[in-house]
Structure 1
């Protein structure tokens, strides 16, 4: 009897344990369902976060802002008063390349745009390093170039108006000089990329090339137009004939000057300095273009302007 009583007691205990196990499994199933629901919510949140601007931000929990490791980071990348922050960016491209200049410009604009939506909207963004210096040089050279080009063009126009006693002739001469410059600098850029294995022109090449081509072109144009005025005073011929005589008379002198100057600038090519090589190539091309363009353009201008008078005579 005692053994049967003990067996019944054990069976009742096992039954209670099975009941508890069943309750536990039911609870575990409910928890797993909640976990699955939570994972679904997290996945949905992460999916929405990936397509939102917040995904581009790096957020640090408040509890982690003042631990010892973060203080070490602050001391490394921030000033003592925590008003200046340094961020190191390593570009994948050559820091001296044109691609690096574009990346730095885009990075600066993106950073300024991102800060506008934060508490640091009034912060000043400064970018340093070799690529940033190239950007500054490029911007400085561009602004100086256009300012110099404007001042030179205006000054040359006034001088030519004084010598030629005309307004249209200086305009034609300046347009010819500008066309010669842009043609020569474009050809130089192509030669630099194709034969000199360089991805771009030096930052100061356009500036010095413009000064040389325009200065020499103005001299040639003044020689041509002054000789044309002399022909007009001395000869009863038509303006078309006189400009042809002037071009023939000045052509020998100009051609000699072009040959001498081309040889002088060609001596800069073996220097190995890329800026001097590019300026020499551009000026030589510009001189050759001026030698042919100025007489042709001015002769065509005189022919179109005085054509009717020529036919009447």
Structure 2
């Protein structure tokens, strides 16, 4: 039995009453604390969430695409991003010993192509080559980052094709790339001898970098297009398109076939009979005249007889 707080007497009724009331009060206090915690958590913003960003990353190796997708990250530089991607993907092995330059990805090692050994890993950020190393390349939300293996500054060279669709209505696509002239001025050159796939069907670009799509394959809708070119020693010579790259053909581009015109059947004209000329002609006409006169005389004689 408990001791009554009012009378100092043992009283089970008072004891149970006050315990019950105290429990009610504790529940109210706990509920209030929980509500306050919810409000407080909504006001406090994580310092990491504030810097969170999503970027597109593509890694093109010697002969295949090693990675392509969106990455949500708190990294501030491309080097940090690559370290995160390496740690998060078991099928990737990225070697970045100094934090400023990637020396290998999945066995494609920089400096392994003779005779210059200038091959290696390069990157583009939003289509442009950064002027600083990956440790200083700042990233922001929405960036498109592409890593590619090439011998760009070696004897192989390297092209980054762009599709010129100005004559798509004629089923023509021309592939060109920026390049540097001897005076280091930027010029545009055709991408010759590249293998282009149109929905899996293969074409090869001519000296002007052009292909002509077969009429049967040129239909309204989206078409998957890829491009590749590889040297005899396996070194890539062009930057492949992303796997989801498409070209759209609209209805006005597809030209209707003109109906065939059937020529009416004509019978050959009956050749005219040759009419004799010269002395033979005079004899011919004389004979005709005699025959005609004889016929007239015979008719006249017959009529006279009938009378």
Whether TM-score is above 0.5 comes out as no
Please say which structure displays the higher CA radius of gyration.
2
Q: Which has the higher helix share?
A: 1
Name the structure, 1 or 2, with higher relative contact order (CA <8 Å, separation 6+): 1
TM-score scaled by length of structure 1: 0.27
Q: Which has the higher strand share?
A: 2
